[in-house]
Each structure stands twice: as C-alpha cells, then as structure tokens.
Structure 1
Amino acid sequence: MSDTYARYATLREEGPVQRVATPLGGYAYVVLRYDDARAALNDQRLSKHPKNAPAYLREAGIVTEDVGPLGVNMLASDPPDHTRLRRVVGRAFTPRRVESLRPRIQQITDDLLDALPVGEEIDLIGRFAFPLPVIVICEMLGVPAEDRDQFRTWTRSMTIVPSTPERRQRREAGLAALGIYMSDLIALRRSEIDRTLPSEEQPDLISALIMATDDRGTLDEQELHGTLMLLFIAGHETTVNLIGNGTLALLRNRDQLDALMADPGLLPSAVEELLRYDGPVERATFRTAVEDVEVGGVTIPSGSLVVVALGSADRDPHRFDLPDKLDLARKDNPHLAFGHGMHFCLGAPLARLEGMVAFSSLFARFPGIRLAAPPEDLRMRPQEALMIFRGLEELPVRL
C-alpha cells in the first residue's frame, strides 16, 4: 500500500499550492495546507459550475457542454442555483430525520454481521462495508432491493478517470447505464405517486423530489435527474470508504481499538478522528478560478483548475498535533473530510451515524477480528489527478 500521506507531506514542505500536470492534459493547482484549503473550499471565486471548466475536461468527457458527469446538481453549481437545490435536498438529511433511521441502520448492520462466517477469511468491503450504506441509501430513495447489486459495477466504472480511450468507454458506459435506470425509475415512481400527499410525507426521496418538480416547480427535470444521480453515488461511496479505511486504521493501531472497546463513550470522537486520519474523500471535486485568486501566497490564474487536497490538509502539522498519529480521543479536530462552507456534505449526519453503528457493532460482535493479509499487500482503488475517493479494493479479515 503506497504512502500517499508521506507524499503529501513532501509536497506541503515544497509549497502550499502546487501546479501539477493531469493525466487528461492541462494543469491543476493543488491546495495542500489546512488554512488555505479551508479558505478555498468556501471561496466563491472558485466556481463549481461546469460551464467554467477548462477545455481539456470537455475534451476528455468529464464535462459535456455546461453539464457535469452526473448532470445538473447542487455539487456542480454555484449560488443562487446551489442554494435552491441544497435547500430542497437538505430536508431529507436533517439531524433529526437521520437519527430516526438509527433502528433500521442497526437492524441492517446486525443482519449483515449475522451472515458472516466465524473463523473464516472474508472481504469486509464486499460483505459489510459496501452493502450497509447501499441498502440504507436505496431504502431512503426507494430503489427496489433486487437492483442494489448493480450499483457497485456502475459506480466503479463511473469513477474511472478517462485517461485512455478504453477507460473513457468504460466510464461512459457506466454513466449511460445508471442514467437509463434512473430515467426508468423516475417514470415508474411518477406513475405510482400519491399526489394527495405533500412532498415531505412521501414514502421515499425519489417521490418527494418528483413532487417538488411536478407540483412546486422547485426543480426542473434535468435537476431532478442530476440530483438523484448525485445522491445514489455520494450516498454510499463515501461511507463504504469510511468503514473500510476506518477498520483498517483500527486494526493497525490495536491500542486505539482496545481503548475504544474499553470505553464506548469514545465512539463519536473516534469516528471524527478516523475521518481525519484516513478520510473517504482524498480530494474535493474540482473548482475553476473565475478570476485571478491568491491562495497561500500563490496566484492562481483565471480559468485554472483548482483541486483541494483534503487528505493533505487533514494531516497538516500546522493545524493538528502529531497528525500522523491516530488518536481517538483527539479533542481539537475540525477536519475537512466533509468539506467546508456552502458545499459542506449534506450527508454528513448520515455518514457519521452509519460509521458509529458499523464500528461499534462490528468490534462488539467480533472482538478478535484480525487482518488476513499484510498491510503492504492491500491496495487502494487506483488514484489519478482528478479522482476524489480514497478507498480499499478489498479488506481481507479473519473473524
């Protein structure tokens, strides 16, 4: 397993912002230090709208005309559209509504753990870390249970950086397949919807968003489609990585795992520390400077691509004491794993809840869990300059 964080440490020492070549052609400015990253994440001169993206992203198929890869959604928009879209979706992810899901998340977790074979080697990603958040988000959205297994194939292909013709073809095929599925599902839900119920009383999020589109005009059809595409991907991919990366960190730091098992009260701060230490999103989605912007004393020219390295910022020794040490009792921990500012992750309460239930249940059920492969043999999913997620291909463990 390569030491990404050691490379980030070297880059931070060389300068707060580095201009790097991307595999798609052109260059990106990578923001590496915590204070600069936090400021950049909330700087409206760094646009999220695809219309401002550099030409080489269009040529590579990352951006098509003025639309991002997942369509029109709040992640790929600026105010005022971003504000409107976020308000609509935010109603589904309030802390109170998320907390009401705890019993169901616990039940799903228990069912998955019940099915694991004691004494055998398993891939914890495939058997636990992946299905848990997929089941949760599919139930929230209203996706039929029999369709869930398709999501891993689709999301794997969609997150490929199209740096070769073959990779571009695989990526476009995944996007097209999910797009067709989404259109069919919207049509089905629209035909079945009970229009006497307001959107907040609809049985699932797809139906609620259809009502927001059809009856209130809060979304248009493109925004409905793009928002659901975003929720499908963001609603599970990051939590898969949180559970996988976090479990690996705990198994490699048994003193911290023992402390957590001895004191369950550590659980909330433990999840925050696992998010900081080896978070599920290594780099924020791209931004484009719409005017010259100074970051960390470096002038980023207008029209440039900007990538905020969250994984580097959360290991910055100028912000965190002993940043390469896992400390589940860390008190001062304003990590950037969920971003910052107006694009702060709406699903953060859900991810935190799923993480707490997953870690507490897994280690209570299997206190003797051990890695079944040397850490150096484990592989992260391939990373390239524009790839944002950080997660394990597999996590072999013995229960």
Structure 2
Amino acid sequence: MKDIAPSDPRGAANECPALHGRALPTDGTQLRLSPTLAAWRDEAAATPLQYADGHVGWIVTRNELAKEILLDPRFTRETTRLPMPGDPHADIDADAQESIRVGGPLDNDGDVHARLRRAIAPRFSLKAARSYRAKIAEIVQAQIGSIAKHVGPVDLTSAYAAPISAQVHCLVMGVPDRLSAAYSPIFVGESTLQRKFDFAREALALKQQEPGDDVLSDLVRSDLSPHEQEGLALVVLSAGRDSVAHLISTSVVALLLHREQWDWLGANPDRMPAAVEEFVRVGSLFVTLFSRTAKEDLTIGSLEVQTGQSVSVAVAAANRDERQFDNPEQFDVTRDAFGHLGFGHGIHACVGQQVARTVIAEAVWALMERWPGLRLVDAEQLRPLPFAHPVATHATGQVLVEWEQ
C-alpha cells in the first residue's frame, strides 16, 4: 500500500471554491480546544486540510464520523503524510530500515498488524495492568519522596511525571537492569534513531539469554522474524511513555484549576477510575491522530473521499463534540466520559491503555494524598505551544507546583 499516489489537489476535493485546504491551527491548548477547530466542527463533520506534501485531504472533527473512519478497513495507515524534513530513516543501517518496514504495527494493517499486535497484547491486558499495580505504586511513592526534598516550586513534568512514566515503561517492557540507566537518555532525551535501534538490539540479545515475564521476552519467544522483533521492540520502547507523562501533568493542572473537583476527588478516591477517563478526554496528548489514507474511492457518512486522499481525526475536537458529551467544554470528573478518543479507536487503538490508566490514577492520587493543599504556580501548557511532533501533539511543558513546607 505504500505506493498509493496522492490525489490531485486540483481534483474533486477542490472543485468547489469553498473547499480550500486549510492549515492545522495552533491556537489551542490541552485544556482549551482551538477556537478554529471548534468553528470547523460547527460547520461540518469534516473540513478540507492541506497536508505538507501539497495534497488536500480531510480533518474530521465530529465524534461519530471519527469513529467510523477509524473502524473502516477501506482506509490504511500505511501511507502517512507528515512534515518530516528529509528522510528520517536515511541515517540508520539496512537492517534497521527493514525492521521498520516489517515490524511497525502503527504502519501496517490487516493480518500483518494483527500478528504484530498479538505478540505484545497479553502484557497490556486489564489483568496484566492490575498485576503491575503494586510495583507502580512503589515507583510513584519513591518519586513522591524525591520531590518532597525540594524547596520551592517543583516542575511536575520533569521531576515527577516523566520519571514515573519512564520507570513503569522499563518495568512492563522488561528493560534489563544493566540498560535501565541508559533508557531515559536515549528514549526520553535527544538521541538518534540508530542509537535507539542499537539499544533495542542489545535488550533483545540479553532477553535471549535471560528471558522473563515481560514484553521483550515475549518478543524473543514469539514466532516473529528477527527483523519483526527488532522493529516491534523499537516501537514499544518508544511509544506511549510520553503520553502517560503528559496526562499525569495535564490532569493535575486541570484539577488544580478546578479546586472543588480536586477536593471532591480527594474525598472520593473510589471515583478515580472514572475521573481518569475525563482526564484523557480533555487532556489527550493528540490534537490529531496519525492520518489514514483511502485505498479506494469511498463515501462514509456524508463525506466523499478519493483514492489516495488522507483523513486525519482531530481527537481534541471529537472529544469535545456536544453530540457525544453534554456540556463538553466543562471539565467534570463526575461525568461518564465513555466514548472519548483519547486512546484512539479500532484496530490501532493504544495497546497500552489499561496500563496507562493505572499509572495515571496512581500518580495523581499519590499527590492528592500527600499534599491535599497542592497549588499550581504556573503551567506553560496553559498557553499555546508549538506542536511537539509532526503528528500534531501538544507539548506538555513545565508545570510548576508548590505545597506548604
């Protein structure tokens, strides 16, 4: 499917003078939907979008159509249009390039995707997430102890959320102890794609010698080829950690901006699982998901899509669609937020979402329990920031909090 040609931007999508491809707006934040996206959603379920390659596709802003797109097998994830300068794979070795081609579940569909996903899915089930809870709580409490030593405002993102997310990621993946110190500098800090592949290869080799009960061990025990194992290892080592860290910080910001909800949730800890759904609904990292490309001319709902046209789902807008949620702009931890798209939808939905829910709940609750009077000093994310990735994702930013010493 990678040879699908983009549709001609002068074609049917542009025959009507009103259908000009618009640029993705940057005037929103995690907790405040872009007014531009809100206006597009009011106009129609989908709006023509100008992609970086000059191609005009669509951005979907309403919840119902977004779900239909994400479930429809007539779209493929194999053709993705991102504004990436140059070739991001140019500086990796030939084996790594082949591993990316055959081992990436995000960039494959159908039986190939299903086979790759099956190799890792058991470690991310609800049962598995519950089995990690005690260890996750230990990681969280250790980080609480670490930030408690600070005097003055603390950056919740760098000193709390990011370390917790990285340590849990190493736990679930089964990163060997001798490599754990190198994980964050390589996968959280600035590093080359080749260095990440080198890390993944070393981790897999160690798991061949000493397998355990974890994702990387499952990969080396699977029937996947060496290239598939390597490509999939790179994906699972890279993906999800930043989203979990983002949601920890952003959830705390939302709660501290709504002190009555912080206090209510602190008095009703049994409501935390439901509250996490609201955290994800309003605070998702993703402005848009990875685009899908039509494999054939098709009509879905009232939307007509040509072969080769791409469609992007605007999670931030769909999660605030009044057709799905009452009073959707209001942050409300007492609501039923079922139906949000914060973890995606369909076959490419986040495989680690049950573990993510557990980590977010533990990390937020630990702060509420230790410092019920926690105060928000400032959060960069309350102001529009440049996107953090060519797939439009919010930058978490610095989140400064303080408490009575």
What is the TM-score normalised by the length of structure 1?
0.83
Structure-2 residue corresponding to 1:74: 105
Q: Which amino acid aligns with 1:19?
A: P
| Residue in 1 that maps onto 2:183 | 148
What is the aligned residue count? 365
Using a 3 Å threshold, how does the CA distance of structure 1 residues 376 and 353 change in structure 2: closer, same or farther? closer
Match of 2:56 among 23, 27, 33: 27
Aligned to 1:10: 39
Which aligned pairs between 1:170-189 and structure 2 lie closer than 5 A? 174-189=192-207
1:137 aligns with 2:137: no
Gap change, CA 1:327 and 1:188, over 3 Å in 2: same
Which residue matches 2:159?
127
Q: Return the offset for 1:101.
A: 0.6
Q: Distance in 2 between matches of 1:78 and 1:323?
A: 32
Q: 1:86 aligns with which of 113, 117, 120?
A: 117
Question: Partner residue of 1:206?
Answer: 216
CA offset at residue 363 of structure 1? 1.1
Amino acid across the alignment from 1:257: W
Residues of 1 paired with 2:192 and 2:373: CA distance?
A: 39
Q: After superposing the two structures, state which structure 1 stretch, 344-353 or 326-335, moved more.
A: 326-335
Query: For residues 221-272 of structure 1, what are the alpha-carbon distances to aligned partners after superposition, in whole Å with 9 as ceiling and x for unaligned?
Result: 2221121111122231110111111111111111211111121122111100
User: Residues 379 and 395 (structure 1 numbering): CA distance in 2 closer, same or farther, change over 3 Å?
Assistant: farther
The 5-angstrom pairing of residues 203-242 of structure 1 reads 203-212=213-222, 217=223, 219-242=224-247
- Number of the residue aligned with 2:20: none
Match of 1:394 among 378, 394, 398: 398
Give the direction of change, closer, same or farther, for the CA distance of 1:146–1:185 in structure 2 (3 Å limit). same
1:61 and 2:92 equivalent? no
CA deviation digits over 1:98-142, x for unaligned, max 9? 101111000000000011135511110001110111101112223
Structure 2 residue runs without a partner (length 5+): 1-25
- Secondary structure, counterpart of 1:18 in structure 2: strand
| 2:373 aligned with 1:342 | no
- Aligned amino acid, residue 356 of structure 2: A
Following superposition of structure 1 onto structure 2, how do residues 40-59 of structure 1 map, counting pairs within 5 Å? Answer: 40-49=69-78, 52-53=79-80
2:256 pairs with 1:260: no
Task: Report the equivalent of 1:113.
Answer: 144
Of 267, 279, 286, which aligns to 1:281?
286
Match of 2:127 among 86, 93, 96: 96
Stretch of structure 1 that moved more, 114-123 or 358-367 = 114-123
Is the CA contact (8 Å cut-off) linking 2:296 and 2:306 kept in structure 1?
Answer: yes
- Asked if structure 2 preserves the Cα contact closer than 8 Å seen for 1:292 and 1:301, the reply is yes
Q: Tell me by how many angstroms 1:340 deviates.
A: 1.4
Q: In the TM superposition, what is the alpha-carbon distance from 1:39 to its structure 2 partner?
A: 0.6
2:165 and 2:241 in contact (8 A); partners too: yes
The amino acid that maps onto 1:223 is E
Moved more, 140-149 or 240-249: 140-149
The farther-off stretch of 66-75 and 33-42 is 66-75
Residue 89 (structure 1) shift: 0.9
- Structure 1 residues 147 and 58, CA gap change in structure 2 (3 angstroms): closer
Change (3 A) 1:174 1:293: farther
Tell me by how many angstroms 1:289 deviates: 0.9
Measure the CA separation in 1 of the matches of 2:301 and 2:313: 12
Measure the CA separation in 2 of the matches of 1:140 and 1:95.
Answer: 13
Deviations 1:79-114 (A, max 9, x none): 111111111111111211210111100000000001
Q: Deviations over 1:171-207 (max 9, x none)?
A: xx632221222223323333x236xxxxxxx343212
Do the aligned partners of 1:138 and 1:145 also contact (CA within 8 Å) in 2? yes
SS at match of 1:130: helix
Q: How does 1:254-333 map to 2 (within 5 A)?
A: 254-331=259-336, 333=338
1:288 alignment partner AA:
T
Q: TM-score, normalised by structure 2?
A: 0.82
Against the structure 1 CA distance between its residues 376 and 345, is the aligned structure 2 distance closer, same or farther, given a 3 Å change threshold? closer
Identity of aligned residues (%): 26
1:17–1:338 distance in 2 versus 1, CA, 3 Å: same
Shift of 1:61: 3.0
> C-alpha root-mean-square deviation of aligned residues, in Å?
2.7
Tell me the amino acid that sits aligned with residue 101 of structure 1.
Y
Distance 2:126 2:196 in 1: 29
Long gaps (5+) in structure 1? 158-172, 195-201
Q: Provide, for residues 284-308 of structure 1, a one-character-per-residue CA deviation record: whole Å limited to 9, x for no partner.
A: 1221111123244221211112211
Q: 1:27 to 1:60 in 2, by over 3 A?
A: farther
Change (3 A) 1:261 1:59: closer
Q: Is the 8 A contact 1:378 1:392 kept in 2?
A: no
Aligned residue number for residue 5 of structure 2: none
Amino acid at match of 1:22: Y
Aligned equivalents of 1:150, 1:59: Cα separation in 2 = 23
